[in-house]
Each structure stands twice: as structure tokens, then as C-alpha cells.
Amino acid sequence: MRLLIAMVAWLGLATAAAAHEVRPALLQIVETGPHAYDVTWKQPALGDLVIHLSPHLSGGALEAAPASESAEPGFVEKTWRVAGGPPLEGQTVRIEGLPETVTDVLLRVTTADGRQIDDVLKPSAPSRALSLAKPSGLAVPAYLRLGVEHILTGFDHLLFVLGLLLLVGPGWRLVKTITAFTLAHSLTLALAALGYISFPSAVIEALVALSIVFVATELAPGRSRDTLARRQPWLIAFSFGLLHGMAFAGALAEIGLPAKAAPQALLLFNIGVEIGQLAFIGAVLALLWLVRRTPARNLVERPALARWAPPYAIGGLAAFWLIERVVAAVGVAA
């Protein structure tokens, strides 16, 4: 249980260190001529909280004031119109402030002849030289990486999965529960990303936090063993999975899908989410298996610690997120 407490603490501290923002940003460059291009920068925001990220081109075109700047619920946007500037070929794109975050930036370049090149700038590699002559194909594998990284840095989603694991335990019931969660969030992810459904992101994020509080309550000592969540955990996982899918879709809604390869990009993003989710579950089960075969097993098997620590650690952190997100949602509505 100390291991589980440490994992919960890591999830919480990592979220705070990341300024509570792990959704990707978008830098889109559309070439309109040999020395002309339009640049759009979309950066996620949580209420009034916007982490410091700033795009730069080595040719200096983005050092001028943007032609337009706007703020909408969930993101801020800036645009530049460049005419008579240096050609894009060979310039270096750099995102100032990216190494201090855990977010990614999707770089999307559309050339004058209609080709689209997608790439991902990461905190470990915040710059990229533009080479427009290289063939790019559909250029959607970046969405697979985005899916993996989005779930592995989506600490609230991981905490919900951890709560389900503790509620159900390893075995066939866990397989059914996680499968139901996967089907549900895959459904709403696709519907929301393709524009068929839409909900305020701040409200969805608050409801995601509430789902974690619910699971923590089910884990609490003294809670009846004959609740719906314990009898049919797959039903609870499916219900809350619908919410989590809409939250996943928020990452895609702000960066968009490639116009000519939307189904492929959506599929790869969803597969990436599943890979990351299964890797997390496998890591937790492997750690618990190892601990039970070391002297530390005495800590795991202490009844009081095993009963009280996980629900209070998970529930306390989720309650903090819930309050924070409700305040952000109220601020957006105001």
C-alpha cells in the first residue's frame, strides 16, 4: 500500500508540476506562396491559467505582433499573416517554454502544392528544422504518439484506472471492466472528435474528477460490499468511460484532425490511448507482484493500511481536482 500511496502522490505532484496542463498545443503553418504563409497558434488553457509557451521561427516572422488574438473556453489562439518573408524551407521552429512542461505541440505544415506534414514537438525536443521537400504520405503516425503520451500524462485518467483496478482486483472481472471502459471512451472520443457531440471542456473535466471521487468512495472502509459498483463494475466503468472519452476528445478538438486522413488519425490516437492504458495497468500489476515477493510484503498486508490509505489518497487528490475544476468551470461560464 505504501507503493500505491507513492504512485498516487506521484500522480498529484506531476500534475502540479505541469501547471495542470497536458493537452497538446497546435502550431499550424499554411504556405500561400514562395515567401508568404499564414501561421496559427492554438494553446490550451484552464480558466485563466495559461502556461508560458511561445512559438518562434528562425526567420523572425513570429516576433512581430500577431494579426489577431482571441481567447475561447479551453484555449487561446493567435494568428500571423506573413508576406514577403523568408521561405519556410530550412527555417527552424522552436517553442519557447516547452521544456518546462509535460505537454506536446503538434506541428502541421501545409505546403503551397497542398501536401500536409505533421510532426510533434516534445519537451525533450522543442525545436525542428523544416524540410518541406521530404515525402510525408498521410503523416498521421504522430497521432499514435499523441495518444500514448496523452494517457500517460493524463494523471486523472490514470488515477481512475488505478481505482478500478483496486476495486475489482486482477482477474477476469478486471478484463471485462477495462474492456467496458475502453469501449465507452472510444465511442465518445470518436463522436466528439468528429463533431457529432460537444460539451464544455471545463464541465467535462470536473465530471472526470467526480468519477474518481466516486470510485474512491467505493473503496472506503465500511462501504457495503453489495453496491452496484462492486456487483457490476463494468457498468460503472462504461458509464464513466463516456465522460473520459469526451475529455480525451478535448485534446483532438483543439488541434484538429488531418482533413484528408481524419479516420486514420482518430484510430491511431485511440490505439495510442489503449497502449498507454494497458502499459499502466501492466506496470501496476507487475509492481504489486514484485512487492509481494520481497520483505515489503508485510507493509502491503497490513489490514489498516490496506483499507484506509488508497481510498483516502485517491479521494483526497480527486476532491482537490474537483474543487479546482468546478471553480474553473464557473469562471468560464461567468
Asked if 60 and 172 sit in the same domain, the reply is no
Asked if 92 and 188 sit in the same domain, the reply is no
Asked if 91 and 179 sit in the same domain, the reply is no
pLDDT one-digit tens code per residue, 226-285: 788 888 889 999 999 998 888 877 666 666 666 666 777 788 888 888 888 889 988 888
- Does residue 97 come out as left (phi exceeding 0), alpha (psi in the -120 to 50 range) or beta? left
Asked if 179 and 313 sit in the same domain, the reply is yes
Asked if 164 and 118 sit in the same domain, the reply is no
142 belongs to a structural domain:
no
Q: pLDDT higher for 300 or 38?
A: 38
pLDDT one-digit tens code per residue, 136-195: 444 556 778 778 877 877 788 888 988 888 888 888 888 899 889 989 988 988 888 777
> What share of the chain in percent tops pLDDT 90?
13
Which of 89, 111, 137 is the last residue before a domain boundary?
137
Asked if 157 and 281 sit in the same domain, the reply is yes
pLDDT one-digit tens code per residue, 12-57: 444 443 333 456 788 999 998 888 999 999 887 765 667 788 999 9
Which of 111, 137, 163 is the last residue before a domain boundary?
137
11 belongs to a structural domain:
yes
Asked if 70 and 124 sit in the same domain, the reply is yes
Asked if 90 and 176 sit in the same domain, the reply is no
Residue 301 has pLDDT above 60, yes or no: no
Element (H, E) at 30: strand 25-33
Q: What is the pLDDT of residue 79?
A: 94
Across the strands, what pairs with 9? Answer: none
The count of domains in the chain is 2
Asked if 131 and 178 sit in the same domain, the reply is no
Asked if 176 and 212 sit in the same domain, the reply is yes
What is each CA distance from 187 to 127, 233, 325, in whole angstroms? Answer: 35, 19, 24
Q: What is the pLDDT of residue 57?
A: 92
3-class DSSP assignment, residue 226? coil
Asked if 151 and 265 sit in the same domain, the reply is yes
Residue 210 has pLDDT above 80, yes or no: yes
- Mean predicted confidence (pLDDT) in 117-130: 85
326 belongs to a structural domain:
yes
Asked if 61 and 133 sit in the same domain, the reply is yes
Which of 108, 137, 166 is the last residue before a domain boundary?
137
114 belongs to a structural domain:
yes
175 belongs to a structural domain:
yes
- Mean predicted confidence (pLDDT) in 199-226: 83
58 belongs to a structural domain:
yes
44 belongs to a structural domain:
yes
164 belongs to a structural domain:
yes
Q: What is the pLDDT of residue 80?
A: 94
Query: 144, 122, 147, 121: which is closest to 29 by C-alpha?
Result: 121
**Which range marks the domain in which residue 80 is found?**
25-137
- Mean predicted confidence (pLDDT) in 6-16: 47
